[in-house]
Amino acid sequence: MPIPDFQTIMLPFLKTLSDGQEHQMREIIEKIAREFSLTDEDRKALLPSGQQYTFDSRVGWARTYLKKAGLIDSPVRGYFKITDRGRQVLNDSPPKITINYLRQFKEFEEWRTAPKIDKGEVGKEPPKENLTPEEVIESAYKELREELASELLKKVKSCSPAFFERLVVDLLLAMGYGGSRKDAGMAIGRSGDEGIDGIIKGDKLGLDVVYIQAKRWENPVSRPEIQKFAGALMGKKAKKGIFITTSSFSKDAIEYADKIESKIVLIDGENLAQLMIDHDIGVSNYMTYTLKKVDNDYFSEE
């Protein structure tokens, strides 16, 4: 039979978790493949890129949509289980779970309609049928990147303090700070408190310095923390600082950082994940598309 689309897969996916136990993703894929009686040839069908199995990709997207709607959870990396909401959905016995069905859940609707920023314009994404082919690609890229950032931040939060220190060193070096790896490594990690503090070079020659503080936190960073950081800058006679957190900053903290004389850059968890993606920290390329257009200069006979 034809390989089912990801919306058709969502209900069978949820049913595989109906026993309330944690199931590994590979196990779920195998069960759903058997339910749809897919052949080995079906299972080996590749996406146009030739770099991923079509069926596995669609199961993966079914998982993402169910998770965003709060019907499943992932207590352990690579394992999934049904939530109370998911059980209620199965009790309601819907004939199919679709995107329209999931829109009844607030978290899912907020995720799908989150404001998009592009070329200075803010607003909801237009319906896919109103997009040009290029815009469809851009929209899909944004969705993939947002999902990657979410998974990446969750991974960062689960790492050890020592690993987090190394991660920040790697990121700062990739961004052009810290001089050599030895310089950056020696300058960072001076305090405990499940965070890192230090002074690193602002350029390769060390003509400027930047004071770093990072908090591997779940709760928002409040104004008092920024005030302490500003005081530390004064004590070091430094005018530039970067405060990195895996969580977020309160409104008061952001407003305070904007008002003070010292320049303090605030990097929250979402921005941290985006910077890691931009600078290839903790991520790797698995698929590349190249869009080409006609080179009119080549065909010019003048």
**pLDDT, tens digit (0-9, with 9 covering 90-100), for 41-98:** 999 998 877 778 899 989 999 999 999 999 999 988 889 999 999 999 999 999 999 9
**pLDDT tens readout for residues 118-145:** 433 333 444 555 566 776 787 788 888 9
Question: Among residues of the chain, what percentage have pLDDT more than 70?
Answer: 84
**Eight-class DSSP state of 124:** P
Report which of residues 120 and 34 the model is more confident about: 34
As a whole number, mean pLDDT of residues 218-247 equals 89
pLDDT of the residue at 66: 96
- Domain 6-113, CATH: 1.10.10.10
Spatial separation of the C-alpha atoms in residues 23 and 36, rounded to whole Å:
19
pLDDT of the residue at 193: 42
- Spatial CA neighbour of 101 closest among 4, 8, 3, 20: 8
Q: Which of 1-5, 127-131, 276-280 has the highest mean pLDDT?
A: 276-280
How far apart, in Å, are the Cα atoms of 78 and each of 116, 189, 288?
A: 29, 31, 24
Q: How far is CA 69 from the centre of its chain?
A: 17
pLDDT of the residue at 35: 95
As a whole number, mean pLDDT of residues 278-298 equals 87
Report which of residues 66 and 209 the model is more confident about: 66
Query: Would you say the C-alpha torsion 33, 55, 139, 151 has a positive or negative sign?
Result: positive
CATH class of 160-278: alpha beta
Question: Beta 263-267 vs 240-245: how paired, if at all?
Answer: parallel
Range of weakest confidence among 99-108, 129-138, 235-244: 129-138
pLDDT of the residue at 236: 75
- Using the predicted structure, report yes or no on whether residue 169 has a pLDDT greater than 70: yes
pTM metric for this prediction: 0.68
Mean pLDDT of the chain: 85
As a whole number, mean pLDDT of residues 234-263 equals 90
Confidence label for 292 from pLDDT (cuts 50, 70 and 90):
confident
Q: Where are the domains of the chain?
A: 6-113, 160-278
Contact call for residues 102 and 69 (beta carbons, < 8 A):
yes
